[in-house]
Structure 1
Amino acid sequence: MSHSFEFKFTGNIHVQSMDRQAGIFIGERNSAVGWSAHGKANNVIGGISGKSNLLYENVLILNDPDLIDTPIDDRDIHMSFENQVEEKTANLTFESVNVNTMQQNSLVSIGEGHVTGMDANEKINEPQGSIYGNGNISLGNYNVNNDQDVLDAIIDDRDIKIANVKKAE
């Protein structure tokens, strides 16, 4: 079996912001098996991107007194199989890749990609949230997040993840 693949990438990769479980795969064959990202984040304000953002006189209060906080059970089973590639020809030409914002479980894949098993379970307490862009203004806000749970963000993510990856001879 013959496999011909021509890949040309002559420019730049520009990424402004990536969140958890995000990826950029560029190439002839990209394989990602069994991605996992689990967690809990308490963020007051969160992320701010861009230029000239103004946060003025904000009062941010986050109170999260849980008795049990984010128990995670992530017993994954990962299986990856390689198969022979059938006869084919592929040509890819790119000058540049621009990514402004990639959120959780985001993917940019250029080329022959085999991405399986992505999962990202998460609990976030984020008064204010994320601010993206240019020239955003947030004035005189009062943000309160009071999360009075006894059990918080129970994540039971036991997966069987099977990947079928093509292999060139």
Structure 2
Amino acid sequence: MNHSFEFKFAGNINVQSMERQSGIFIGEHNNAVGWSAHGKANNVIGEIGGHSNLLYQNVNILNDPDFIDTPIDDRDINISVENPGAEKTSNLTFESFNVNTMEQNAVVSIGEGHITGMDANEKVNQAQGGTYGNQNQSVCNLNVNNDNDLVDAIIEDADVKIASVKKVD
């Protein structure tokens, strides 16, 4: 097998925001096996980004009285197979890259990678989400979160994940 990999990176990596199940993979060989996302999110006001935002005298009420809330059963099977017999040549040259926002299950991958089946499970209730940036103001607001579920966010995630399976001749 002929394999050559040349990677030149002389600049900066700038990331402003990353959510759950997001990643940056840099290198000759990257494996991320078994990623997926399941969940429930209740947001009255989601995320605030930028600068000089003003939230003034708001009343945010989140009422989530579900009897059964978000049962998730994720039975994925994820397999990553590498074929070592292929000839590969990779030449990558970067000065820099900039990522403003990476949401759930987002990837920046540089180089050879096997990224399969990303996995994340959650339930989120937010009367007001995150505030990002500078010179943001939140003044005289009222946030109420009422989540009186009897059964809340049952998640059973019994995945089978196999990575770097080498082919045998």
Task: Answer yes or no: is 1:111 the counterpart of 2:111.
Answer: yes
8 Å CA contact 1:37–1:119 kept in 2: the answer is yes
Q: 2 CA distance for matches of 1:114 and 1:73?
A: 25
Contact 1:117 1:162 in 2 (8 A): no
Report 1:5-44 matches (<5 A): 5-35=5-35
User: Deviation per CA, 1:39-63, whole angstroms, max 9, x where unpaired?
Assistant: 9999998766544444445566778
- With structure 1 as the length reference, what TM-score do the two structures score? 0.70
Deviation at 1:12, TM superposition (A): 0.6
C-alpha displacement at 1:149, in angstroms? Answer: 1.4
In the alignment, the residues of structure 1 paired with residue 158 and residue 55 of structure 2 have an alpha-carbon distance, to the nearest angstrom, of 41
Q: Size of the alignment, in residue pairs? A: 167
- 1:143-167 deviation line (CA, Å, top 9, x unaligned): 4332221111111222223445679
Q: Is the 8 A contact 1:116 1:163 kept in 2?
A: no
User: Which range is displaced more, 83-92 or 63-72?
Assistant: 63-72
Question: Gaps spanning 5+ residues in structure 2: where?
Answer: none
Unaligned runs of 5+ residues in structure 1 are none
Q: 1:4 to 1:26 in 2, by over 3 A?
A: same
Paired residues of 2:44 and 2:127 also in contact (CA < 8 A): yes
Contact 2:84–2:166 under 8 Å retained in 1? yes
Q: Which one is further off, 137-146 or 119-128? A: 137-146
Contact 1:39–1:121 (CA<8 Å) still a contact in 2? yes
SS of structure 2 residue aligned to 1:102: coil
Q: Distance between the aligned counterparts of 2:28 and 2:128, measured in 1?
A: 41
Aligned twin of 2:84 = 84
- What SS does the aligned partner of 2:111 have? strand
- Let me know the Cα RMSD of the aligned residues: 4.0
AA partner of residue 5 (structure 1): F
Q: Which residue of 2 aligns with 1:151?
A: 151
**Native 8 Å contact 2:35 2:105 kept in 1:** no
